[in-house]
Structure 1
Amino acid sequence: MNSPALILLLIFLFFQRTAANSVEEITWTYSGSVGQSEWSEYFPDCGGASQSPVDVTTTQTKYDPSLVPVTPLGYSQHGNQPFSLHNNGHTVVIELPGWMGLQGLPWLFTAVQLHLHWGNGSPGHGGSEHTIDGRSADAELHVVHYNSELYPNMSAAMTQRDGLAVLGIFIETGEETNPAFNNIINYMSRIRHADQKEFIPAFDVQSLLPRSLGRYYRYNGSLTTPPCYQSVIWTVFQERVQISKAQLLKMETILYSSKAEDSHRMLLQDNYRVTQSLNHRVVLASFSAESGKELSSGEVTAIVIGVMCGCVGLAVIVRFIVKTIRSSSSWDVLHNNRPAPSPRVNDQEHSKEKKQDLALSTTSEAEKKEEPSPSSPAEP
Structure 2
Amino acid sequence: MRFFECSSLPNHFSPFSSQFLTHLLILHTLSLTVEASTRNNYQWSYDSDVFGGPDFWGLVEKDWWMCRKGRLQSPIDIQPDRLLFDASVKPVRLDKLPVLSEFVNTGQMVRIRIGYSTKKPSVNITNGPLYGYRYRVQRIDFHMGRGKENGSEHTINGRRFPMEVQLVAFNTDLYPNFTAASKSPHGIAILSVLVDFGAQTNQELTKLTIATASISYKDQRVQMADFEPWRLLPFTRDIITYEGSLTSPGCHETVTWIILNQPIFITREHFEEWSHLYHTMEGAEKVPVAPNYRKIQETNNRLVRTNIQHKMSYNCNVSVNKIHYRANHVAPQQHSTRRHNNPFV
- TM-score normalized with structure 1 length: 0.68
Cross-structure match for 1:316:
none
Cross-structure match for 1:368:
none
Cross-structure match for 1:26:
42
Does the 8 A contact of 2:103 with 2:223 survive in 1?
yes
Kindly report which structure 2 residues correspond to 1:62-81, keeping only aligned pairs within 5 A, or say none: 62-73=84-95, 76-78=96-98
Cross-structure match for 1:178:
202
**Aligned residue type for 2:177:** N
Change (3 A) 1:261 1:281: same
Shift in Å at residue 57 of structure 1?
Answer: 1.1
Does the 8 A contact of 2:171 with 2:187 survive in 1?
yes
Cross-structure match for 1:285:
306
Identical residues among aligned pairs (%): 26
State the distance in 2 between where 1:177 and 1:25 align: 36
Cross-structure match for 2:294:
273
Cross-structure match for 1:207:
231
From the two aligned structures, give the one with the greater strand fraction.
Answer: 2
Cross-structure match for 1:367:
none
Summarize deviations over 1:122-151 as a string: whole Å, max 9, x none: 1xx321000111111111000010000000
Shift in Å at residue 192 of structure 1?
Answer: 0.8
**Aligned residue type for 1:240:** P
Instruction: Determine if the alignment matches structure 1 residue 256 to structure 2 residue 278.
Output: yes
State the distance in 2 between where 1:295 and 1:25 align: 43
Cross-structure match for 1:52:
74
Does the 8 A contact of 1:109 with 1:145 survive in 2?
yes
Does the 8 A contact of 2:73 with 2:297 survive in 1?
yes
Cross-structure match for 1:37:
55
Does the 8 A contact of 1:91 with 1:117 survive in 2?
yes
- Unpaired segments of 5 or more residues in structure 1? 1-19, 305-380
State the distance in 2 between where 1:77 and 1:23 align: 29
Does the 8 A contact of 2:111 with 2:139 survive in 1?
yes
Summarize deviations over 1:138-170 as a string: whole Å, max 9, x none: 110000100000001111101112100001110
Cross-structure match for 1:239:
262
Cross-structure match for 1:350:
none
Instruction: Determine if the alignment matches structure 1 residue 112 to structure 2 residue 132.
Output: no
Kindly report which structure 2 residues correspond to 1:303-342, keeping only aligned pairs within 5 A, or say none: 303=337
**Aligned residue type for 1:111:** V
Summarize deviations over 1:321-364 as a string: whole Å, max 9, x none: xxxxxxxxxxxxxxxxxxxxxxxxxxxxxxxxxxxxxxxxxxxx
Shift in Å at residue 206 of structure 1?
Answer: 0.9
Does the 8 A contact of 1:97 with 1:111 survive in 2?
no
State the distance in 2 between where 1:255 and 1:54 align: 26
**Aligned residue type for 1:259:** M
Superposed CA RMSD: 2.3
**Aligned residue type for 2:257:** W
State the distance in 2 between where 1:22 and 1:78 align: 27
Dislocated runs of 4+, deviation >3 Å: 20-23, 290-293, 299-304
State the distance in 2 between where 1:231 and 1:256 align: 30
Change (3 A) 1:302 1:66: closer
SS of the residue corresponding to residue 40 of structure 2 reads helix
Shift in Å at residue 96 of structure 1?
Answer: 2.0
**Aligned residue type for 1:239:** Q
Question: Of residues 79, 86, 94 in structure 1, which corresponds to 2:112?
Answer: 94
Shift in Å at residue 94 of structure 1?
Answer: 0.8
From the two aligned structures, give the one with the greater helix fraction.
Answer: 1
Change (3 A) 1:300 1:96: farther
Does the 8 A contact of 2:310 with 2:325 survive in 1?
no
Does the 8 A contact of 1:51 with 1:221 survive in 2?
yes
Higher mean displacement: 36-45 or 84-93: 36-45
State the distance in 1 between where 2:325 and 2:238 align: 14
Change (3 A) 1:300 1:245: farther
State the distance in 2 between where 1:21 and 1:38 align: 14
Does the 8 A contact of 2:102 with 2:223 survive in 1?
yes
**Aligned residue type for 1:25:** N
State the distance in 1 between where 2:223 and 2:308 align: 39
Instruction: Determine if the alignment matches structure 1 residue 83 to structure 2 residue 101.
Output: yes
- Unpaired segments of 5 or more residues in structure 2? 1-35, 117-121, 319-323, 327-332, 339-345
Shift in Å at residue 302 of structure 1?
Answer: 5.0
State the distance in 2 between where 1:303 and 1:240 align: 18
Does the 8 A contact of 2:58 with 2:65 survive in 1?
yes
Question: Of residues 141, 144, 169 in structure 1, which corresponds to 2:165?
Answer: 141
Summarize deviations over 1:224-275 as a string: whole Å, max 9, x none: 1111111110001111111111111111x1110001242x221111101111
Shift in Å at residue 21 of structure 1?
Answer: 8.5
**Aligned residue type for 1:101:** N
Does the 8 A contact of 1:178 with 1:244 survive in 2?
no
State the distance in 2 between where 1:274 and 1:289 align: 27
State the distance in 1 between where 2:67 and 2:336 align: 46
